[in-house]
Amino acid sequence: MDQLKPSSGNSTPLTPLDFLERASVIYGDCPSIIYNNTTQTWSQTNQRCLRLASSIASLGIQSGQVVSVVAPNIPAMYELHFAIPMAGSVLNTINLRLDARTISVILQHSESKLVFVDDQSSSVVLEALSLFPGNFKKPDLVLITDDGKSLKSNFLEFCRTYEEMVENGDQEFDWIRPKSEFDPFTLNYTSGTTSAPKGVVHCHRSAYIMAIDSLVEWSVPKQPVYLWTLPMFHANGWSFTWGMAVVGGANVCLRKFDANLVYSLIDKHKITHMCGAPVVLNMLCNSPDEKRLSHPVSILAAGAPPPAAVLHRTESLGFNVTHGYGLTETGGLSVCCTWKQKWNKFPASERARLKARQGVRTNTLVKVDVLDSETGESVKKDGLTLGEIVLRGGCVMLGYLKDPEATSKCLKDGWFYTGDVGVMHPDGYVEIKDRSKDVIISGGENLSSIEVESVLYMHPGVIEAAVVARPDEFWGETPCAFVSLKDHVKGKVEEKEIVEFCKAKLPKYMVPKTVVFKEELPKTSTGKIQKFVLRDMAKAMGASRVSRL
Ligand SMILES: Nc1ncnc2c1ncn2[C@@H]1O[C@H](COP(=O)(O)OP(=O)(O)OP(=O)(O)O)[C@@H](O)[C@H]1O
């Protein structure tokens, strides 16, 4: 046995880039990308990616250097998920809704050498470059346009167009394989929901594991029709960018989420699968075009806690919801509320309550646990005792770029510390109760803002709700609810009604003591409610004086 060692025949580094050529063999004449009135096949996508990769490599960018993309979910964004790493570069997709200052910080921090820019983002990127210090070398720019036309005089800062790079490239290009499967593959900056964005680096191996694992967990069959409602810049579309090549799916691209458009694309292309943060589910449920689907659509919801009431409403429209949990640091879905057949016989509200739990580890995650913050021991499996959720497995990032301190803070003792506070249920399913920064401490009692929100979402007039701490002279903090209402009840539902509604469903100390109505709640570009903004608003109201709960 001891003589049997890895050899070149059995130890090629794992990389998701190998999925593409295989897809072109099996699904060569099947649709790979559908956008407006154009359709590409897997054979064309493979050729275009090879050409692009050869053009990128010919620019003299060294292996391991960063190449960025600022683009929505258009075909170029999809192709660059393969082409950039095939040229040996590290793929950095940038959230296109960021402001010029943040984009500038990201481009400088990553020392990006080349940026592919959608023409609708050209002014923000040019402004970002204008903020570079004089001595800092700026990256070259490539312009992406929907019509593939050549540069006009107002795009002088761009060295070439995307389509020129495809046309001038070599489709026989021998793409650059990683030397090790641990070589850096992607760089994604976190959403910045709780702090300044951090540069998460994943290797080829973790992206490979994540792509395959997510398909298995979500039971994605061969040749699905996948609608890109989840931004590809958000953790590389939770790795379904590469995953769709594994199963030869048709990637239906769209520039911007719009509920009406989504409903019409579902009908037109017979969409089978889509992903989104709970805000997407909420928009589908509150759209004027909301209707029962003519065929079932599987939707994977993750990124923020989906209130049970929203899950229930979405399923009643004919969507089949799977609930998963993950972080940019795990490249996508790492824990999933894996459904059991026996739960199907429960009433809908009970099914939604079970589904709102984050769940169990996916197959390639080695372990998930909830640890007591003081002792570091596993908490009781009672669904009540709070602790920090920790993960271990091959999908966990290599670390944060140029930030050893933040890396060692969350990667230690054989765990990745998520910063999420949760409980372990007796059946081994994990449930998030809050992000550690969002926990409200009222009279020394830890209070889960998510639990209060889930009750607010049950109110028939509520579209969105978020609960944060408001300082209180007596209790330290009390829950303060920010709520947006459906049009037909605006001005009719008052604070008292919301408070009474919560009183009937929550222990007294959890009932919001303040309710603020807002037209819309502030969100990050990935659709998460910005609780730090609401917390600042609650603080600015001054301390409440609730003497008795
Ligand atoms: N299913 C889910 N239920 C509850 N929360 C979730 C779920 N999925 C993801 N999250 C939340 O999203 C977080 C991961 O989000 P992401 O990596 O996009 O960046 P961010 O954490 O929002 O940004 P930042 O780290 O800068 O604050 C998790 O830590 C968790 O708090």
Domains of the chain: 36-191 (3.40.50.12780), 257-436 (3.40.50.12780), 439-540 (3.30.300.30)
327 Cα–ligand 1 center, Å: 5
- Indicate if ligand 1 lies below 6 Å from the C-beta of 191: yes
**Any ligand 1 atom below 6 A from CB of 300:** no
Using a 6 Å cutoff on CB, does residue 528 contact ligand 1? yes
User: Does the beta carbon of 432 sit less than 6 angstroms from any atom of ligand 1?
Assistant: yes
Q: Which two tokens stand for residue 391?
A: 């993960």
User: Is the CB of residue 328 below 6 angstroms from any atom belonging to ligand 1?
Assistant: yes
State whether the beta carbon of 526 lies less than 6 angstroms from ligand 1. Answer: yes
Angle in degrees, 0-180, between the axes of helices 75-86 and 240-247, rounded to the nearest 10? 90
Q: How far is the CA of 196 from the centre of ligand 1 (A)?
A: 14
Cα separation values, 149 from 34, 160, 161, Å = 19, 11, 8
Ligand 1: does its nearest atom lie under 6 Å from the Cβ of 75? no
pLDDT at 193: 59
Instruction: Give the contacts of 367 (CB within 8 A, at least 6 positions apart).
Output: 361, 391, 392, 393
What backbone phi and psi angles, to 5 degrees, belong to 348?
-55, -40
Ligand 1, atom nearest to 329 Cα: 17
Q: Which of 95, 230, 327, 403 has most ligand 1 atoms within 8 Å of CB, for mutation? A: 327
Please work out whether the CB of residue 208 comes within 6 Å of at least one atom of ligand 1: no
Question: What integer pLDDT is reported at residue 306 of this predicted model?
Answer: 87
Report the separation in Å between the CA atom of 207 and the middle of ligand 1, taken as the mean of its atom positions.
Answer: 18
C-alpha distances in Å from residue 423, one per residue of 345, 479, 483: 25, 21, 26
Residue 154 is predicted with a pLDDT of 63
pLDDT at res. 150: 63
Q: What is the pLDDT of residue 153?
A: 59
Please identify, by atom number, the ligand 1 atom nearest to the C-alpha of residue 191. 23
Q: How far is the CA of 324 from the centre of ligand 1 (A)?
A: 11
Burial of 321 from C-beta contacts in 10 A (0-12 / 13-18 / 19+): buried
Query: Which residue's CA lies nearest to atom 4 of ligand 1?
Result: 305
Cβ contact 62:75 at 8 Å: no
Residue nearest to atom 22 of ligand 1 (CA): 193
Distance CA 314, CA 362 (A): 24
ipTM: 0.95
Could you tell me if the CB of 327 is within 6 A of ligand 1? yes
314-357 pLDDT per residue, tens = 999 999 999 999 999 999 999 999 999 999 999 988 898 899 99
CA–centroid distance, residue 466 to ligand 1 (Å): 15
Q: Which atom of ligand 1 is least distant from the CA of 306?
A: 3
Q: Which residues of the chain have pLDDT under 70?
A: 150-155, 191-196, 289-290, 545-549
Question: Does residue 302 have its Cβ closer than 6 Å to ligand 1?
Answer: yes
Spatial separation of the C-alpha atoms in residues 286 and 284, rounded to whole Å? 6
User: Which residues are CB-neighbours of 446 under 8 A, at least 6 positions away?
Assistant: 386, 439, 440
| Model pLDDT, residue 309 | 87
Residue 307 DSSP code:
P
Burial class from Cβ neighbours inside 10 Å (0-12, 13-18, 19+) for residue 152 reads exposed
Radius of gyration for the alpha carbons in the chain, expressed in angstroms and rounded: 24
Q: 41 C-alpha to center of ligand 1: Å?
A: 34
Q: Which atom of ligand 1 is nearest to the CA of 193?
A: 27
Alpha helices (H) along 317-391: 348-355
- pLDDT of 152: 65
195 ligand 1 Cβ < 6 A: yes
pLDDT at position 260:
92
**Residue 420 near ligand 1, beta carbon < 6 Å:** yes
Write the residue with the smallest CA distance to atom 8 of ligand 1. Answer: 303
pTM over 0.95: no
> Ligand 1 centroid vs 304 CA: distance in angstroms?
6
Beta strands at 399-400 and 360-361: parallel, antiparallel or unpaired: unpaired
* Residue-level pLDDT at 236: 97
Pocket-testing residue among 105, 189, 191, 275, ligand 1, by greatest number of atoms within 8 A of Cβ: 191
